[in-house]
Amino acid sequence: MVLETPAGRAIPEDFIRPIISAGIEPILMLNLPLSSPPHIKEIDILLQAYAHWGVHYISLFDRPNTLKAWREDIWVQQKLVERFLNTFIPLAKQVVEVGMFPLFPALEPGGNFWDTAFLKSALQSMAPKHAGLLEHLVIGAYAWSSNQSLNWGAGGPENWPGARPYETPKDQQDHRGFRIFDWYNAISQKTLGTELPIILLGTGSRLGDLCNLESQTVDNKHAEINVQIAKLLAGETTAFVTPETPHPVPENVLAGCFTDILYSDPNQSGPQTWYLPDGEVLPVVQKLKIWHSSRQLTQPHDIPLEVTNSNQSVESNSNHNQTKDLKLDQFDIPVRVTKPIKHYLLLPQYEWGVATWYLEASQPYIQKYSPTIGFSIKEAFLAEKVTVVGGIHTYPEQLITELEKSGSTVVQISGNGTDIATLLTIK
């Protein structure tokens, strides 16, 4: 839950603590003025209070790559990114000092100063001297789907090398869509050698959005698309994969927030308000409630919710095709579980992402058996039958044994690429 809060006073403790007790993770947005930012001492007590109440994530600024975030006379000066970092870094370090995680502020996709260039320049400047801060830094992002496919820009610059700042050729796609995290991950990986955690401070389909003038508005599919996004963020997979099937969300995306769904002024609703002042709601509200209720009915109550650890323990070797030093206890596997899933196809996932080759090679198998498809070892323990794709270097060595001990029937398909493709065809 994103909560906007003034820098001059705290959100009441009586409001914050019940939210956290209910299992909701508040993400605070201070939206400090960049042209006249406060001194550390002015907000230190506020930060300490939030940390003491159990808040973990805080964003200090918003969209520093836009003109409206600055006074015009300051905006036109040289070295904007450097000047932003001179303001951001001391305050972010204080956030770490009190025990919270600072967000690199979400940038406007595109923006007056192109956001991918802004982020790349900022990370490059921080890398040599601020390793301690980078270990605690979370990247904020706005992932509006606009009126485009949820797979728009999927795979990042590796898949769309022709995309350039301020220019996207007609045969290319860019980052301005739901898959913005693929592009930010590519920047982080190339600059720092690792993917920083990401929180989507704003995501979803917005009414009347005509970002792509060659496509229709999404108004008639507003509810459907937002439910799709919610399912993706929850890690749900589909039994049958087509080229149009939305790609899974990487594990370093910690959360996604639908914003502006409530009206702040009782006499006026905003353009994206889901709950209207007269008590009516948009169709998306009921559809999300139905989906959430169905998840509660099918999810075992003794399985703790999975929390993504920002300190990724799964590493990849120089060839990016194997994992190492994997231990099963890293995955928080429950000892006794029910088996709500009939058949689970477990595909490998690496630190750099998912190898699409496995999805393509698995198509005959998927069409024949219609298994639940996923990349989560924890989810595999919820299945009566598990087909494990990949060899001994891909998973913890004790995985097969522990799956069988839990009561799952296990089939492993391994070998070189040709062997795996052949076995998936004939199984």
Q: What is the DSSP string of 188-201?
A: HHHHHSSPPPEEEE
Q: Note the pLDDT of residue 173.
A: 93
Q: Note the pLDDT of residue 64.
A: 98
Q: What is the CATH number of the domain that holds 385?
A: 3.40.50
Q: Looking at the domain assignment, is residue 309 inside a domain?
A: no
In a shared domain, residues 156 and 264? yes
Residues 38 and 7 sit within 8 Å (Cβ to Cβ): yes
Return the C-alpha torsion angle 82, 83, 85, 88, nearest 10: -170
DSSP letter at 325 equals: S
Q: Note the pLDDT of residue 325.
A: 45
Structurally, the chain folds into a number of domains equal to 2
Residues 141 and 184 sit within 8 Å (Cβ to Cβ): yes
Q: Could you read off the pLDDT of 343-391 as tens digits, one per residue?
A: 999 988 766 566 667 777 788 888 888 899 988 888 888 899 999 987 6
Name the domain boundary from 298, 331, 352.
298
In a shared domain, residues 370 and 399? yes
Distance, in Å, from the CA atom of 11 to the CA atom of 5, rounded to the nearest integer, reads 7
Q: Could you read off the pLDDT of 166-217 as tens digits, one per residue?
A: 999 999 999 999 999 999 999 999 999 999 999 999 998 887 665 555 555 4
What is the Cα gyration radius of the chain? 23
Q: In angstroms, what CA-CA distances link 370 with 112, 343, 404?
A: 47, 8, 22
- Give Cα 422 distance to the centre of its chain: 34
| Domain coverage including residue 355 | 315-426
Q: Looking at the domain assignment, is residue 43 inside a domain?
A: yes
Could you identify the residue written with the tokens 């992002």? 141
In a shared domain, residues 98 and 242? yes
Distance, in Å, from the CA atom of 236 to the CA atom of 248, rounded to the nearest integer, reads 8
Q: What are the two backbone dihedrals, phi and then psi, of residue 135, each rounded to the nearest 5 degrees?
A: -65, -20
Q: Could you read off the pLDDT of 18-48 as tens digits, one per residue?
A: 988 888 899 999 999 999 999 999 999 999 9
Q: Note the pLDDT of residue 376.
A: 87
Task: Note if the pTM is more than 0.75.
Answer: no
- 371 or 312, greater pLDDT: 371
In a shared domain, residues 34 and 92? yes
Per 3-state DSSP, the chain is made up of helix, strand and coil in percentages (nearest 5) of 35, 15, 50
In a shared domain, residues 274 and 391? no
